[in-house]
Amino acid sequence: MGERARPLNSAPVRPTGDYVLYWCQMNRRVDANQALDYAVELANQLHLPVQFYEGLTYSYPYASDRFHRFILEGVPETAQRLASLGIGYTFYLRRRPSDPNDVLYRLAARAAAVVTDDYPTFLAARHNASVVPKLDVACYAVDASCIVPMACFEKREYAAYTIRPKIHKLLPSYLWPPPPVKVTRRFPPRPSEFHTPVTTTNIAALIASCDIDHTVPPSVSIPGGRLAAQKQLAHFLQHGLARYAAESNQPSAHATSGLSPYLHFGHISALEVALAAKSSPEFLEQLIVRRELAFNCARFTPRLDSLHVLPGWARETMRRHRRDRRHPVYTTEQFERAATHDALWNATQQELLTRGVIHGYYRMYWGKKIVEWSSTYSGALRTMIYLHDRYALDGRDPNAYTNILWCFGLHDRPWPERPIFGTIRSMTLAGMRRKTNVDAYIADGGTGFSL
Ligand SMILES: Cc1cc2nc3c(=O)[nH]c(=O)nc-3n(C[C@H](O)[C@H](O)[C@H](O)COP(=O)(O)OP(=O)(O)OC[C@H]3O[C@@H](n4cnc5c(N)ncnc54)[C@H](O)[C@@H]3O)c2cc1C
């Protein structure tokens, strides 16, 4: 089974099953998807076809036009690709409470086995713990998110410097192009009774028909889907990669990849990106070491919404500084409306509100200032998680929660003592002005890009 796959239950393979079901929760793609590959391999051994099931429900926390559109834009491409490979596809849009809530169970009841994504945060983590025990058929979770599988690490790593040498040692075994998907039995080409047809022209109407938060609009500049992800990667390889080492911390230089939403929703895999961008060790450090450190942390940490995750020195310094005077202090609502006194901070929040991401360098500033301008540390943590969960296209991800905690010292080291932060690293507007072109970013209307 290798390090990528693990059984989620002890139920047997059903010999009378009609297909192997791939329950796609996070890796919303067909190619370079080791979880689908695992389902195909199993199906080929059992001489069965494969059915790919992808659900989207109105009921998940913070479901909105933004996330629905991004996901729906990927569906027509997935349908086309699966049809060409002979794999069945059920995309089920659950729009309202009265719509059936048991499609997975019904599809699983006819399956020989179920394969799903091994993912350590948000819905997939919860489903794998709560839904799978109710299935009476063998179910496997496969890590199709990380390049070096999460299971290669037996414990939570302390910081980048502890995981880096281990990743570098293992990487040569995993940095290989994935094999093409090849089924030996084709799925009968008839639409499933639960399938919701999605075309580029009906997406707006589908979104409008869902009981979701219609006040969070789609991103103004980031379309969803695999084609969009590939275009973004091609753009980065041509215009950003060579400048990445020198300019990735300069938001107005546009030298970063912009791939985090696609990586989060699985429209593209980290493996494909790493193979294409192998020439930049600085980029691979972020894409592999930092990203997989986040997955490692999430895998071994039951709750990422708590300051208890932090190392002892960070908790101790916060204890000493918890009564330091904060001025100004903003509420979550003021942060959300980008209504602080600081034009740079407001621009970063505007970027989150309109595009659904914030440039990586200013994202640190965004987080550090929420720590500084909230009345408590735990309140600051809640505000950051809320704003990410609600607005970030790349949020609800191990990277989101661990980087938010980085603002409080996770995976970092002590720095010289300052008010409020104690020995946790702080950031200042003067520092941002010294190192980056703050005015150019603000002039772009807080989007980081000319729209
Ligand atoms: C407060 C705060 C919140 C953050 N929230 C998120 C989030 O919700 N989702 C998210 O993916 N990243 C988050 N990050 C990390 C980082 O800011 C983003 O990954 C990056 O800005 C995404 O833009 P990019 O794809 O252009 O990155 P690039 O610089 O092009 O990097 C390529 C990829 O490497 C990975 N990466 C880059 N920086 C980091 C990092 N510091 N830690 C882990 N992986 C990294 C990401 O997958 C990224 O897409 C957060 C950082 C901070 C300080």
CA 352 vs. chain centroid, Å, equals 15
Q: Note whether 244 and 210 are within 8 A (CB).
A: no
Q: What are phi and psi of 21, to 5 degrees?
A: -100, 125
Average pLDDT, the chain: 96
Shortest-distance Cα residue to atom 16 of ligand 1: 360
Integer Cα distance of 316 and 368 in angstroms = 18
Q: d(Cα 147, Cα 170) in Å, to the nearest integer?
A: 10
Distance CA(88)–CA(21), nearest Å, equals: 9
327 Cβ neighbours under 8 A, 6+ residues apart: none
Ligand 1: centre distance to CA 22 (Å): 28
Probe ligand 1: pick from 237, 345, 399, max atoms within 8 Å of CB? 399
CA–CA dist 276, 28 (Å, integer): 20
Ordered alpha helix ranges (H), 54-159 = 65-85, 103-109, 122-130
Structure tokens at 239: 């215009």
Does 8 contact ligand 1 (Cβ within 6 A)?
A: no
The amino acid at residue 82 is L
Which atom number of ligand 1 is nearest to the Cα of residue 396?
8
Rounded CA separation 205/209 (Å): 6
CB 396 within 8 A of CB 389: yes
Domains of the chain with bracketed CATH: 1-145 (3.40.50.620), 148-179+223-300 (1.25.40.80), 302-443 (1.10.579.10)
Of 67, 348, 357, 394, the residue with max ligand 1 atoms within 8 A of its CB, to mutate for a pocket test, comes to 394
Atom 38, ligand 1: residue with shortest CA distance: 286
Q: Is 404 in the pocket of ligand 1 (CB under 6 A)?
A: yes
Residue with the two structure tokens 């290989």: 176
What is the whole-number distance in angstroms between the Cα of residue 291 and the centre of ligand 1? 8
Q: How would you classify residue 290: left for phi > 0, otherwise alpha for psi between -120 and 50, otherwise beta? A: alpha
Mutate to test the pocket of ligand 1, among 237, 244, 260, 304 (most ligand atoms within 8 A of CB): 260
Ligand 1 and 250: CB distance under 6 A: no
- Intervals of the chain under pLDDT 70: 1, 445-451
392 close to ligand 1 (CB < 6 Angstrom) = yes
Provide the token pair at 349.
Answer: 């929040």
Other Cβ atoms within 10 Å of 151 Cβ, number: 15
The per-residue pLDDT for 449 is 52
Longest dimension (CA), the chain: 68
Rg (CA), the chain: 22
| Cβ pair 92, 58 in contact under 8 A | no
Q: What phi and psi, each to the nearest 5 degrees, are found at residue 362? A: -75, -20
Atom nearest to 384 CA in ligand 1: 1
Tokens of 178: 């994935």
Pairing of strands 139-142, 5-7: antiparallel
> For 334-384, what is each residue's pLDDT tens digit?
999 999 999 999 999 999 999 999 999 999 999 999 999 999 999 999 999
| Cα 171 from chain centroid (whole Å) | 21
CA distance 93 to 63: 12
| Span from the CA of 189 to the centroid of ligand 1 (angstroms) | 40
How distant is the alpha carbon of residue 438 from its chain centre? 28
Which of 57, 68, 75, 64 is CA-nearest to residue 353? Answer: 64
How many other CB atoms are there within 10 angstroms of residue 433's CB atom?
Answer: 12
CB 354 within 8 A of CB 390: no
Does the Cβ of 260 fall within 6 Å of ligand 1?
yes
Q: How many CB atoms lie within 10 A of CB 2?
A: 11
What are 189's two structure tokens? 């080409």
Indicate if ligand 1 lies below 6 Å from the C-beta of 364. Answer: yes
Q: Work out which ligand 1 atom sits closest to the CA atom of 270.
A: 47
> Burial, 134: exposed, middle or buried (Cβ in 10 Å; 0-12, 13-18, 19+)?
exposed
Please report how the helices 343-354 and 377-391 are oriented relative to each other, as an axis angle in degrees rounded to 10. 40
Tell the residue nearest (CA) to atom 17 of ligand 1: 360
If one counts every other C-beta atom within 10 angstroms of the C-beta of residue 231, the result is 12
Atom 29 in ligand 1: residue holding the nearest Cα: 256
For residue 422, the cross-strand partners are 418
Q: With beta carbons less than 8 A apart as the criterion, state whether 38 and 129 touch.
A: no
Tokens for 389?
């969960």
Distance (Å) from CA 49 to ligand 1 centroid: 37
Tokens at 388, concatenated: 């990410």
pLDDT at 2: 80
CB-based burial, 361-393: b 16+ in 10 Å, e otherwise: bbbbbbbbbbbbbbeebeebbebbbebbbbbbb
